[in-house]
C-alpha cells in the first residue's frame, strides 16, 4: 500500500543490528493523509470513506539508502512511501520501506526531467540554468533542429524535406547567431546520417515499434518530461553533442532513467534505455573506441531508479525553503566545468557560497535583499503553478470541467495525417461546454485520462467553429480525442526569474541607482510642444523625451493614454532613438501600434516589402501568430525564412513592439534599445516589467495603479507593480493625465473623488455633458428607474455560489429596455465580478458581457454592472476596490448599478457608491 502525509518530525538516522547485519535506518513521524493512502495501483479513491477521521501520527521507518532522503526531509514537507509494509515495533504500529518501495518528498512539486539531469551534473548548474536561462547559442539551436528532424524521420517523413523546413523554421535564431542556412543544413545532414544509418542498420526489425515525443507526468514521483522517442516501450534519447567514450554520459543515463521510472509507474516497465549520439563529424566517430554505432544501450536497474528518485528528492527539499545550492552537494569537479566562471560570478555578486569559489564585488545589501525576496516570491508562484498540474489527477473529469479547466466527453470524429507526418485530430464537444481553452493554446489532449491514459501535448486549431461544437487539434502522435485539459506552464515564472537575474546582475549601475532608491531620476533637455490642446499629455511626452533614467505616466480611464504613447514614440524615433514598445497584453501592444499608425507612422505602405527593408525607420511586431491582431499581421516578424533576412529585419527596426513576456524570449534578450516604453505597467509584476526595462538604457512606464493590479497566484511581493512602487518613490518623475475623454460629468464624479483626489476632469464641455439623447434615444422611453445617467436597481435577488440568477434576469430586462428605447446593442456592455455570473447573463442577452478584469481597457456608451453579492461584501473580489473603479469607468453616457442595497450599505466604500448612484 501507499502511505502519504505531512512530516511532523524527523529523527536522526542510526545504525542498528538486524538479522541481516548492521543496517541504517531513519524514522519519520507523519500525519497520514487519509485520502493519500491507497493500494499500490488503480483504485485510488476506494477508501475515501475513512476521510472523516483525523488519523493519529504514525512512524515511518526508512531503511538503507532511503536514509539519504530522510537527511533532506523537514517537518512540514509531504512524504509519500510506496509499497509500504505495516509493522509493529515495541507496541507501536507504523510503516516501513519494503524491497520495492520508493520514498518521495513533496510529490506535488513537479521537477522537469532536464532539471534532474542538470542537478546530477551539479546542483549549482541546476540553479544557474534556472536563474539565467539558456541564452541563444548555436549548439543548442542546432541540437533542437536535429531533434526535430529525428522526430520527423520516425514519423516517416522525407529527410531532405524535413531538414529544409526545420532549418527554415529556425531562421531568425540562426540569423541572430550569424549562421548561413546552407552551412546549418550540411551540419544537420551529417547528424541525421548517423541516425538514418542506425535506423537502417538492421538493428530494427519488423517488430520494432516506434513513437516520437512522449509526454509523461508523474503524480507519484513528482516528475514531468517529454521523451524523444520510445522504441519497443523503452526510452530513446538523442544527443547531438560529442561523446567519444564507450559509455553514455552519466547525466544522459539519468535523463533516460527518469522516463523509464515514469513508464514503470504506468505499468509498462522498461529495463533498458538507449542513447543515440549523432556526434559532429566523421573524425569524432573514428575516435570512438572501436564502437562505430552511434547508439549506446544500457540497462535500467532498480538501483538506478532509486537513485533518480533520491536525486529528485534533493531538488524538492532544496526548493521547499527556496534555498540555494552551493555545489558541495555533489562531487562534480569544478575545474572542468564550463559554467565555472558564471558560477563564481553569481556567487560573488550575490554573496553566495560556492564550491567553485566566488569572484567579483558583491552587489549592495539592498539589492541582495531584493533579489532574495523576489526569488522566493517567484518560487512560491511556481509552486502555485504546480498545484494546477496536480489538479490534473486530483480532480475528477467533471470537477475539471466545472472549473473551466477542461473540455470532457468529447466525441472523436476522426484523424488524418498532415504535412510533416504529424496528425490532425477532430472531435465534437457537448454543445454548452465552456472552458478557459482558446484557439492557438497548447493543451493536453487525451483519450479521457490525461495522466494514466494516453496524452499528448497538442495545439488547438479550432474551438467552436460555425456549428459551435467543433474541436480540431494538431499533435505529433495520434490518439482518440476525448478530453482536452489546460496544460499549466512555468514559462512565465522562468522568464520573470531571468529578468530578475538580468536586472540585478547585468543591469547598469545608473539604472540600479534609480531602481533601488539611491538616486532620483534625472531629466534634461529642452521642453517642446508636442501636443497643443492638452497640457498634461504634452508634459508627459516631454517627461519621456527628457528622461535620463525613467519617466512615469499615470493615465486614469479615458485620458488618451494610447494617443500619448504613440506621440511619445514618434518624438523619440524622430530624434534617432531605437524604441521598444511593450505591454502586458497583446491587445494593448496592438492598440498602441494602431495609434502609431493613425499618426502616420509605421504604415505598411511606407514599409518596403519584407526582406528588403534597408532603411531603419520601420516597425516590427514581435509575437506569436495567434497573439497578434489580424490588422497588425503585416508588421509581424515571421521567424521562418532565410537567416540573414530575418535577423536584419529585427535588428534594423527602429520600433519593436512585443509583450513583456516576449521580451523574455531568447531572440528579444539579444536586442537592445535606447528607450523601453511599457503600457499597462500597473498590471505587471515587477520582474515582468524588468523583462522589458532590461533591454533599454531608459524606460517609460505608463499605467494606472488605481486600476487592476497584477494577477498572481501566490500572495506576495509580486502583487505590487514596479510602476506603483516608483510613482510613490518619485512623484516628481511622474505626470498624471487629468483630462478624460470618455465619461459624462455625472458618471466620472465618484471615481474622480474616490480614486484621483478629484483631479480627474472631463476634457471638454461636450464630454461632460454627453447624454443618451446623443444616441438618438428619448429618455422618456426608458423605465423610470434608469432614466438618470447613473442609476441603481435592486432586484432583490440572492447569491447562489458566484451567481445571482434573479439579478441576471433583471439585468436582461434592463438591457432590453435600452434596446427597445433605441440603443444599439453594440453600444451596451454588462460587467460582473464572477465568470459564473457572466455566463448566467450571457445566456439571457445578446450584448457584450464580461468580467471586470476583461473589460479593462475598453468602454461602452451604456454599461450595466451586476454586483451579485447579497448579505455582505466579503470576499477577495470585492475587497480590492480598484476593481470597482474599472467597472464604473467603462460607461460613457449611462451607467446602471444592479445589486443588493443592504449588502452594499454594509460596507463604507460601497455605501458611498450607493449614495452617489441614488443622488
Residue numbers 566-585 binding DNA by CB under 7 A: 584-585
Interaction of residue 875 with DNA, rule CB under 7 A: yes
| 500 burial level (CB within 10 Å; 0-12, 13-18, 19+) | buried
Cα 603 to Cα 617: distance, rounded to the nearest angstrom: 11
Least distance from C-beta 831 to DNA, angstroms?
11
Contact pattern from residue 525 through residue 564 relative to DNA, giving x for each residue in contact according to CB under 7 A and a dash for the rest: ----------------------------------------
Residues 76-135 contacting DNA, CB under 7 A: 112-115, 118, 125, 129, 134
Interaction of residue 910 with DNA, rule CB under 7 A: no
- Backbone phi, then psi, for 250, in 5-degree steps? -60, -45
Q: Which residue, 476 or 900, is less far from DNA as judged by CB?
A: 476
Interaction of residue 334 with DNA, rule CB under 7 A: no
Question: Which member of 265, 339, 380, 754 binds DNA (CB under 7 A)?
Answer: 339
Find the helix or strand (DSSP H, E) in which 894 lies: strand 891-898
Q: Which residue, 59 or 112, is less far from DNA as judged by CB?
A: 112
Q: Which three cell numbers stand for residue 59?
A: 512512524
Q: Which residue, 653 or 736, is less far from DNA as judged by CB?
A: 653
Q: Which residue, 512 or 639, is less far from DNA as judged by CB?
A: 639
Cα 485 to Cα 408: distance, rounded to the nearest angstrom: 8
Least distance from C-beta 556 to DNA, angstroms?
20
Query: In three state form, how does the secondary structure of 825-853 look?
Result: HHHEEEEECCHHHHHHHHCCCCCEEEEHH
Measuring CA to CA, which residue among 851, 863, 825, 830 is closest to residue 742? 863
Stretch that binds DNA, among 82-90, 242-250, 784-792, 892-900 (CB under 7 A): 242-250
SS3 455: strand
Measuring CA to CA, which residue among 591, 673, 664 is closest to residue 632? 591
Interaction of residue 190 with DNA, rule CB under 7 A: no
Question: Which member of 562, 659, 752, 842 binds DNA (CB under 7 A)?
Answer: 659
Residues 724-753 contacting DNA, CB under 7 A: none
Q: Which three cell numbers stand for residue 258?
A: 527518469
Least distance from C-beta 686 to DNA, angstroms?
15
How many residues of this chain interact with DNA, rule: CB under 7 A? 75
Residues 762-781 contacting DNA, CB under 7 A: none
Question: Which member of 132, 144, 644, 859 binds DNA (CB under 7 A)?
Answer: 144
Interaction of residue 658 with DNA, rule CB under 7 A: yes
Residues 374-413 contacting DNA, CB under 7 A: 395, 399, 402-403
Contact pattern from residue 428 through residue 457 relative to DNA, giving x for each residue in contact according to CB under 7 A and a dash for the rest: --------x----xx--------------x
Q: Which residue, 852 or 894, is less far from DNA as judged by CB?
A: 852
Least distance from C-beta 666 to DNA, angstroms?
7
E-strand stretches of 54-200: 58-63, 78-81, 85-89, 92-96, 103-105, 111-112
Contact 400, 406 (CB under 8 A): yes
Contact 563, 832 (CB under 8 A): no
Alpha-helical runs (H) found in 655-804 = 660-663, 666-669, 686-693, 722-729, 745-755, 765-769
Least distance from C-beta 135 to DNA, angstroms?
8
Interaction of residue 364 with DNA, rule CB under 7 A: no
Interaction of residue 147 with DNA, rule CB under 7 A: yes
Question: Which member of 47, 85, 196, 490 binds DNA (CB under 7 A)?
Answer: 490
Q: Which residue, 235 or 762, is less far from DNA as judged by CB?
A: 235
Least distance from C-beta 464 to DNA, angstroms?
16
Residues 615-654 contacting DNA, CB under 7 A: 623-624, 627
Contacts for 507 with CB less than 8 Å, ≥ 6 apart: 515, 694
Contact 670, 176 (CB under 8 A): yes
Stretch that binds DNA, among 59-67, 348-356, 482-490, 571-579 (CB under 7 A): 482-490
Q: Which residue, 39 or 139, is less far from DNA as judged by CB?
A: 139
Interaction of residue 870 with DNA, rule CB under 7 A: no
Interaction of residue 881 with DNA, rule CB under 7 A: no
Interaction of residue 20 with DNA, rule CB under 7 A: no
Cα 866 to Cα 851: distance, rounded to the nearest angstrom: 10
Cα 823 to Cα 820: distance, rounded to the nearest angstrom: 7
Q: Which three cell numbers stand for residue 603?
A: 504604415
Measuring CA to CA, which residue among 172, 147, 336, 311 is closest to residue 237? 147
- The two beta strands, 78-81 and 58-63, are unpaired
Least distance from C-beta 737 to DNA, angstroms?
23
Cα 522 to Cα 698: distance, rounded to the nearest angstrom: 11
Interaction of residue 254 with DNA, rule CB under 7 A: no
Question: Which member of 51, 204, 434, 711 binds DNA (CB under 7 A)?
Answer: 711
Least distance from C-beta 144 to DNA, angstroms?
4
Question: Which member of 51, 93, 491, 759 binds DNA (CB under 7 A)?
Answer: 491
Least distance from C-beta 32 to DNA, angstroms?
22
Stretch that binds DNA, among 2-10, 137-145, 199-207, 317-325 (CB under 7 A): 137-145
Task: Residue 41: count other Cβ atoms within 10 Å of its Cβ.
Answer: 11
Cα 770 to Cα 747: distance, rounded to the nearest angstrom: 10
Q: What residues are paired with 700 via a beta bridge?
A: 551, 677
Q: Which residue, 608 or 624, is less far from DNA as judged by CB?
A: 624
Q: Which three cell numbers stand for residue 240?
A: 547531438
Q: Which three cell numbers stand for residue 678?
A: 511599457
Interaction of residue 858 with DNA, rule CB under 7 A: no
Question: Which member of 38, 564, 661, 707 binds DNA (CB under 7 A)?
Answer: 661
Residues 459-478 contacting DNA, CB under 7 A: 459
Interaction of residue 281 with DNA, rule CB under 7 A: no
> What burial letters (b/e) apply to 329-344, b meaning 16+ CB within 10 Å?
bbebebeebebbebbb
Q: Which residue, 237 or 485, is less far from DNA as judged by CB?
A: 237
The Cα angle at residue 576 between residues 572 and 577, in degrees rounded to 5: 55
Question: Which member of 59, 280, 293, 881 binds DNA (CB under 7 A)?
Answer: 280
The Cα angle at residue 608 between residues 605 and 610, in degrees rounded to 5: 115
Contact 679, 643 (CB under 8 A): no
Interaction of residue 662 with DNA, rule CB under 7 A: yes
SS3 241: coil
- Backbone phi, then psi, for 2, in 5-degree steps? -100, 140
Question: Which member of 100, 137, 323, 417 binds DNA (CB under 7 A)?
Answer: 137
Alpha-helical runs (H) found in 653-804 = 660-663, 666-669, 686-693, 722-729, 745-755, 765-769
Number of helices (H) and strands (E) in the chain: give both, helices first.
32, 35
Least distance from C-beta 334 to DNA, angstroms?
12
Contact pattern from residue 829 through residue 848 relative to DNA, giving x for each residue in contact according to CB under 7 A and a dash for the rest: ----xxxx------------
Interaction of residue 591 with DNA, rule CB under 7 A: no
Q: Which residue, 137 or 201, is less far from DNA as judged by CB?
A: 137
Least distance from C-beta 273 to DNA, angstroms?
13
Question: Which member of 159, 648, 877, 901 binds DNA (CB under 7 A)?
Answer: 877
Residues 207-226 contacting DNA, CB under 7 A: 224-226
Cα 401 to Cα 321: distance, rounded to the nearest angstrom: 33
Least distance from C-beta 695 to DNA, angstroms?
15
Least distance from C-beta 509 to DNA, angstroms?
27
Interaction of residue 418 with DNA, rule CB under 7 A: no
SS3 239: strand
Q: How many angstroms separate the Cα of 914 from the Cα of each of 432, 554, 902?
A: 36, 27, 10
Amino acid at each position: 500500500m501507499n502511505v502519504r502525509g505531512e512530516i511532523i518530525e524527523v529523527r536522526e538516522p542510526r545504525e542498528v543490528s538486524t538479522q541481516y547485519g548492521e543496517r541504517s535506518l531513519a524514522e519519520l513521524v507523519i500525519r497520514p493523509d487519509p485520502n493519500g493512502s491507497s493500494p499500490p495501483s488503480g483504485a485510488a479513491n476506494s477508501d475515501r470513506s475513512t476521510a472523516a477521521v483525523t488519523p493519529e501520527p504514525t512512524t515511518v521507518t526508512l531503511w538503507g539508502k532511503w536514509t539519504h532522503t530522510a537527511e533532506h526531509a523537514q517537518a512540514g514537507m509531504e512524504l509519500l512511501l510506496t509499497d509500504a509494509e505495516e509493522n509493529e515495533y515495541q507496541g507501536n504500529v507504523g510503516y516501513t520501506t519494503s524491497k520495492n518501495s520508493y520514498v518521495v518528498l513533496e510529490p506535488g512539486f513537479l521537477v522537469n526531467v532536464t532539471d534532474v539531469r542538470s542537478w546530477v551534473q551539479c546542483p549549482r548548474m541546476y540553479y544557474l540554468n534556472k536563474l539565467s536561462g539558456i541564452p541563444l547559442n548555436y549548439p543548442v539551436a542546432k541540437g533542437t533542429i536535429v531533434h526535430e528532424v529525428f522526430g520527423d524521420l520516425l514519423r516517416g517523413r522525407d529527410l531532405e524535406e524535413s531538414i529544409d523546413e526545420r532549418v527554415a523554421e529556425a531562421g531568425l535564431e540562426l540569423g541572430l547567431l550569424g549562421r548561413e542556412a546552407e552551412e546549418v543544413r550540411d551540419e544537420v545532414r551529417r547528424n541525421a546520417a548517423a541516425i538514418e544509418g542506425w535506423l537502417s542498420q538492421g538493428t530494427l526489425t519488423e517488430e520494432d515499434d516506434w513513437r516520437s515525443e512522449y509526454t509523461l507526468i508523474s503524480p507519484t514521483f513528482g516528475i514531468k518530461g517529454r521523451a524523444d522517442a520510445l522504441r519497443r516501450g523503452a526510452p530513446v534519447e538523442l544527443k547531438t553533442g560529442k561523446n567519444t567514450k564507450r559509455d553514455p554520459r552519466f547525466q544522459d543515463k539519468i535523463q533516460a532513467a527518469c522516463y523509464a521510472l515514469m513508464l514503470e509507474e504506468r505499468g509498462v516497465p522498461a529495463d533498458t534505455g538507449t542513447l543515440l549520439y549523432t556526434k559532429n563529424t566523421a573524425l569524432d566517430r573514428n575516435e570512438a573506441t572501436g564502437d562505430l554505432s552511434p547508439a549506446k544501450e544500457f540497462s535500467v536497474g532498480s538501483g538506478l531508479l532509486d537513485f533518480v528518485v533520491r536525486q529528485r528528492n534533493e531538488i524538492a527539499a532544496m526548493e521547499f525553503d527556496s534555498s540555494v545550492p552551493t555545489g558541495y552537494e555533489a562531487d562534480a569537479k569544478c575545474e572542468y566545468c564550463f559554467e565555472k566562471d558564471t558560477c563564481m560570478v553569481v556567487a560573488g555578486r550575490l554573496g553566495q557560497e560556492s564550491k567553485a569559489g566566488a569572484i567579483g564585488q558583491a552587489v549592495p545589501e539592498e539589492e541582495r535583499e531584493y533579489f532574495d525576496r523576489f526569488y522566493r516570491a517567484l518560487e512560491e508562484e511556481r509552486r502555485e503553478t504546480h498545484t494546477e498540474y496536480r489538479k490534473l489527477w486530483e480532480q475528477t473529469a467533471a470537477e475539471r470541467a466545472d472549473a473551466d479547466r477542461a473540455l470532457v466527453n468529447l466525441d472523436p470524429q476522426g484523424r488524418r495525417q498532415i504535412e510533416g507526418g504529424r496528425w490532425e485530430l477532430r472531435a465534437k464537444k457537448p454543445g454548452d461546454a465552456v472552458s478557459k481553452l482558446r484557439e492557438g493554446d497548447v493543451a493536453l489532449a487525451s483519450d479521457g485520462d490525461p495522466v494514466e491514459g494516453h496524452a499528448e501535448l497538442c495545439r488547438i486549431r479550432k474551438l467552436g467553429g460555425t456549428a459551435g461544437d467543433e474541436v480540431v487539434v494538431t499533435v505529433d502522435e495520434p490518439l482518440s480525442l476525448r478530453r482536452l485539459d489546460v496544460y499549466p506552464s512555468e514559462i512565465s515564472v522562468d522568464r520573470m526569474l531571468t529578468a530578475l537575474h538580468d536586472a540585478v546582475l547585468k543591469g547598469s549601475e545608473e539604472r540600479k541607482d534609480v531602481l533601488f532608491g539611491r538616486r532620483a531620476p534625472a531629466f534634461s533637455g529642452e521642453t517642446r510642444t508636442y501636443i497643443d490642446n492638452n497640457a498634461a499629455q504634452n508634459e508627459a511626452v516631454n517627461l519621456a523625451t527628457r528622461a535620463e533614467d525613467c519617466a512615469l505616466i499615470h493615465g486614469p480611464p479615458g485620458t488618451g493614454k494610447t494617443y500619448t504613447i504613440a506621440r511619445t514614440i514618434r518624438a523619440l524615433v524622430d530624434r534617432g532613438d531605437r524604441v521598444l514598445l511593450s505591454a502586458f497584453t497583446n491587445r494593448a501592444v496592438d492598440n498602441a501600434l494602431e495609434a502609431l499608425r493613425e499618426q502616420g507612422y509605421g504604415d505598411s505602405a511606407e514599409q518596403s516589402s519584407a526582406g528588403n527593408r534597408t532603411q531603419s525607420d520601420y516597425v516590427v511586431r514581435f509575437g506569436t501568430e495567434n497573439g497578434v491582431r489580424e490588422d497588425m499581421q503585416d508588421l509581424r516578424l515571421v521567424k521562418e525564412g532565410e537567416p540573414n533576412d530575418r535577423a536584419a529585419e529585427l535588428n534594423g527596426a527602429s520600433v519593436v513592439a512585443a509583450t513583456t513576456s516576449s521580451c523574455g524570449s531568447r531572440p528579444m534578450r539579444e536586442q537592445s534599445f535606447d528607450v523601453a516604453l511599457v503600457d499597462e505597467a500597473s498590471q505587471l509584476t515587477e520582474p515582468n516589467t524588468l523583462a522589458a526595462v532590461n533591454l533599454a538604457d531608459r524606460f517609460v512606464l505608463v499605467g494606472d495603479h488605481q486600476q487592476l493590479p497584477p494577477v498572481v497566484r501566490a500572495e506576495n511581493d509580486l502583487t505590487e507593480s514596479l510602476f506603483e512602487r516608483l510613482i510613490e518613490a518619485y512623484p516628481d518623475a511622474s505626470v498624471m493625465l487629468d483630462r478624460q475623454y470618455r465619461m459624462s460629468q455625472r458618471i466620472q464624479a465618484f471615481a474622480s473623488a474616490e480614486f484621483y483626489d478629484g483631479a480627474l476632469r472631463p476634457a471638454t464641455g461636450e464630454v461632460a455633458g454627453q447624454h443618451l439623447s446623443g444616441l438618438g434615444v428619448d429618455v422618456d422611453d426608458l423605465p423610470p428607474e434608469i432614466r438618470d445617467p447613473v442609476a441603481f436597481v435592486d432586484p432583490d435577488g440572492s447569491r447562489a455560489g458566484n451567481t445571482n440568477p434573479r439579478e441576471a434576469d433583471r439585468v436582461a430586462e434592463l438591457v432590453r429596455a435600452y434596446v427597445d428605447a433605441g440603443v444599439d446593442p453594440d453600444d451596451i456592455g454588462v460587467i460582473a465580478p464572477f465568470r459564473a455570473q457572466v455566463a448566467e447573463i450571457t445566456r439571457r442577452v445578446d450584448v457584450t458581457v464580461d468580467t471586470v478584469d476583461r473589460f479593462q481597457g475598453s468602454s461602452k456608451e451604456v454599461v450595466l454592472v451586476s454586483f451579485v453579492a447579497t448579505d455582505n461584501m466579503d470576499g477577495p473580489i470585492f475587497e480590492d476596490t480598484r476593481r470597482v473603479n474599472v467597472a464604473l469607468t467603462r460607461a460613457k453616457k449611462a451607467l446602471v448599478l444592479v445589486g443588493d442595497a443592504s449588502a452594499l450599505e454594509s460596507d463604507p466604500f460601497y455605501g458611498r457608491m450607493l449614495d452617489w448612484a441614488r443622488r
